[in-house]
Structure 1
């Protein structure tokens, strides 16, 4: 298991570029007697064992982040996707040896582009979850959330939305500010009024400007054009719907007041988790059966997001939950020097295998 993780960790690939990762894992599964099926239009693949119903899915995300590590920019598995692939691969190999002990189909999905928030949608378009009954995901958790070896049967991720906008005025002379609109000032007004959007205090949420570009090397030109980006978070889908409406009204209002076009688009609209109680109960029992009752903690709530929840948003009939795997992740997820307790890999395999066995119990 450690050899597999090390290969995936040292051969990280960013979103939509997971070609060699796909090739490596496909070859590994073929060598073990599986029949992996590549996705038609995107990197990634699925592989299954068994037949008939129920159909139980395991999802592993494949992509790495592009970030600076020790002064160099590189693909880096600082979110633990290398661990997720390792766990699901090992789980499938173990389940293959137990094929006579369950009825139904177990299908592992190796999904690209989770970090961009749109890989799951593309997998849905491939049609491979249309007949699925259960879907189990997995994610390493920081030490600050769950200590090793504890696990939770679900992760209540929040909703996440990015707004990509453009202020489309005209440049004008620095000596004649009255002849046009300063896009930097308009950006400042947007930032200021974002703080005046008030959502129910019972819903954790945040809105912030995370990107702004305007101007050139010529300091005597007042920029009329600028681009900006917003990061919006809500712990509930209802809260996100409210925030979308408020932001749209705000940008249209500022556009009218300053008489400058402000164009924007909503991108990577990732929904909040929709945890199925039946799937959650199966995962809870799997944790108890494999790690003991003392290792079970309640479903956790986190402001982070995961495109895993697109599966249930697109196919509500799928009963889904995500295992929160205590791994003592430190200093934290997405940190360039993220580390975790590798003993958690074995725990993840055992819990997912048991969850599949419970979901397909004869």
Structure 2
């Protein structure tokens, strides 16, 4: 007679990761992922679980009162071509992030909490840039004192085994636009406006936009579609997309104003109508020095001082930073984990060293413990 052997903690976490990796779901479609996480957390009676009837994602909470220390994991996958077929794929590490937060939850659930609340946020739709805003609308963040996020980092940014107490993401914005005119016969270009020529002017004027060169930024056309299969028709209409990046939120505001002026100038120059909207928008990081110090202390405690690296500045974006922009009282920062991630984030064949999962778990557990301990002391003496 044989008896089944209980998996070790590490085996359990790898099993969780492998399930999440094999079952990716797109933004706002993370129902199975939500159900899986809920089913796992229900093993821990100390956790109160909150789900939402109108969308995916969930909140788990243990303890009560102040301070409220939260950890956030993003859940959604990307839609990409893999080996000739389009499919959902976890190429941004969200499967690892969920595993890390679940591992931290398991460890913390088995330790007594004398004072304070620990909140675990499993947030959908980070890749759409709308998940955090939806959770904020649901009052998930209104009473949070400290908030920690986590993200795997590519090998080009951070050496394997090292960690950073902050990721300074930039702001990003995507503009969807359309040019409205009438098609013309190829022999009669004088009867209207060629939308392709309008697009060429748009490219040149966007390239001429300048702001403070000490702040990283970029503005570029990322798609343009005009014309059909007939070679002898001049297209009067077109659609386009513009990608804006800036390292600060103020710089993004300035870029947007200048893009708006460019579009108005082209409308006047060609006497045409241009419509535009912003389907997605991410704010730049506004991290907190105290939160960074607490996370740095946790990194040193777990990995050693030689494995602590300086915060990373990246032009990539993350909707995590909406929490602090919408609630400035929240002290937040994001843990960055070196893990030999290659070829890079959002690459369909992305891979990384799974040992980083356990580094992330231990660091976040320690960060929560350190934060609760120090905040409780301040509350006691205040």
- Measured against the shorter chain, the TM-score band is over 0.9
Structure 1 counterpart of 2:22: 10
Indicate yes or no: 2:87 matched with 1:74. yes
Query: 1:176-200 deviations in whole A, cap 9, x for unaligned?
Result: 1111111111011101111100111
Shift of 1:98: 1.3
Structure 1 counterpart of 2:252: 240
CA contact (8 A) 2:91 2:347 kept: yes
CA contact (8 A) 2:169 2:315 kept: yes
Q: Aligned with 2:42: secondary structure?
A: helix
Mapping for residues 302-341 of structure 1, pairs under 5 Å:
302-341=314-353
Which residue among 55, 59, 82 is the counterpart of 2:68? 55
Indicate yes or no: 2:132 matched with 1:120. yes
Indicate yes or no: 2:228 matched with 1:207. no
Mapping for residues 1-362 of structure 1, pairs under 5 Å:
1-33=13-45, 34-100=47-113, 102-361=114-373, 362=376
Shift of 1:326: 1.1
Partners of 1:99 and 1:341 in 2: CA distance: 32
Query: 1:200-255 deviations in whole A, cap 9, x for unaligned?
Result: 11011111111111111222221111110011100111111110010000000011
CA contact (8 A) 1:40 1:126 kept: no
Q: Aligned with 1:360: secondary structure?
A: helix
CA contact (8 A) 1:273 1:309 kept: yes
Partners of 1:169 and 1:259 in 2: CA distance: 10
CA contact (8 A) 2:44 2:109 kept: no
Partners of 2:79 and 2:150 in 1: CA distance: 22
CA contact (8 A) 2:68 2:119 kept: yes
CA contact (8 A) 1:138 1:322 kept: yes
Query: 1:9-59 deviations in whole A, cap 9, x for unaligned?
Result: 000001111111111111111133333211242210000111100001100
Partners of 2:186 and 2:122 in 1: CA distance: 54
Q: Aligned with 2:150: secondary structure?
A: strand
CA contact (8 A) 1:164 1:230 kept: yes
Q: Unmatched 5+ residue regions in structure 2?
A: 1-12, 377-382
Query: 1:253-310 deviations in whole A, cap 9, x for unaligned?
Result: 0111100001111232211000101111110001001111011011110110100001
Q: Which structure has the greater CA radius of gyration? A: 2
Partners of 1:209 and 1:50 in 2: CA distance: 49
Q: Aligned with 1:156: secondary structure?
A: strand
Tell me how large the CA RMSD over aligned residues is: 1.0
If the length of structure 1 is used for normalisation, what is the TM-score? 0.98
Structure 1 counterpart of 2:10: none
Q: Aligned with 1:99: secondary structure?
A: coil
Aligned length: 361
Partners of 1:147 and 1:192 in 2: CA distance: 39
Q: Aligned with 2:41: secondary structure?
A: helix
The runs of at least 4 aligned residues of structure 1 exceeding 4 Å deviation read: none
CA contact (8 A) 1:39 1:126 kept: no
Partners of 1:254 and 1:30 in 2: CA distance: 58
Partners of 1:63 and 1:352 in 2: CA distance: 21
